[in-house]
Structure 1
């Protein structure tokens, strides 16, 4: 029979492993249907019943797809993105993110749009306009009740919602 101290210690350690954290210094870029590899909505990981297709509105229940280097986040991990006031989930891999991660630079690539419509050059231009440069924090193991902006980043044929990006939003737990 376990002692009360052992049970409490186990519970405390389990709580620490799930604690919210705000790692920073992430390069944040954007990708979509036309510049995915190969072009289309395909993802490397099947998360949340999406059947290997990128998507999401940014809520905790429907996080936007993010790509990164294998090992940088846990597959299907949900994080909060203060830059966008959206939740994101690691569902895809990113070649440039992998190179950056191997060189000590965290990097995430965020899905911009439809999983059925190729936005072509307009979507790529939007992705470039959404990429402000700088380095940003994310929230790992976030609470489920942060406020979100579900406005799509790109809507074909040519709507780019750069006014729904918040570079000065701080990350906090």
Structure 2
């Protein structure tokens, strides 16, 4: 009986760190080549073999780059973004996110556009149009099989796909 109990407790504890959760109240904004710091597609972390270059289509195997405050999400952590029906991975830091997080406001900045083309003011305008100003829920430790929309949010020189944002999409595990 003791061996069975230890195996049961071990199995329960092994699953504690991997349970899906849906934290909410995130400020979600967008960034890209022209307003990255410094401008370009460089990231702070090399996740998934991207060689410090932002990108991603939004699938679990090719998540879109997200930036946030140190400590808010783990480096290279994959989350699901119901607002976009895309997976995202923390590959970068965000100065405004850090300020907001220090003030108790969770904040994620999501990569838009190309990894090698600067969309200029058209891209910045698109990022502003994609930012709805609400608070949103994300899914941490998500299953790998959620449906995704792999359409890019911004396609240079000026295509902004605001129809690919779903502010009323619920988060669930």
Q: TM-score, normalization: structure 1? A: 0.98
CA shift for structure 1 position 4: 2.6
Counterparts of 1:67-146 in structure 2, within 5 Å, are 67-146=67-146
> Deviation string for 1:6-35 (max 9, x for gaps)?
222111112121100000000000000000
Name the CA distance, whole Å, in 1 between partners of 2:39 and 2:17: 37
- Cα offset for 1:3? 2.4
Which residue number in structure 1 is paired with residue 148 of structure 2?
Answer: 148
Residue segments in structure 1 that go unaligned for 5+ positions in a row: none
When the two chains are superposed, the root-mean-square deviation of aligned CA atoms in Å is 0.8
Find runs of 4+ consecutive structure 1 residues off by over 4 angstroms: none
- Residue of structure 2 equivalent to 1:24: 24
| Mapping for residues 40-55 of structure 1, pairs under 5 Å | 40-55=40-55
SS at match of 2:136: coil
Shifted more, 7-16 versus 149-158: the winner is 7-16
Q: Where does the alignment leave 5 or more consecutive residues of structure 2 unmatched?
A: none
Cα distance in 1 for residues equivalent to 2:23 and 2:105: 12
- Alignment-derived partner of residue 15 in structure 2: 15
1:103-142 deviations in Å (ceiling 9; x for gaps):
0000000000111000000000000000000100000000
1:39-80 CA distance string (max 9 Å, x none): 000000100000000000000000000000010000000000
Q: Secondary structure in 1 aligned to 2:135? A: coil
* Equivalent in the alignment of 2:159: 159
Secondary structure at the counterpart of residue 109 of structure 1: strand
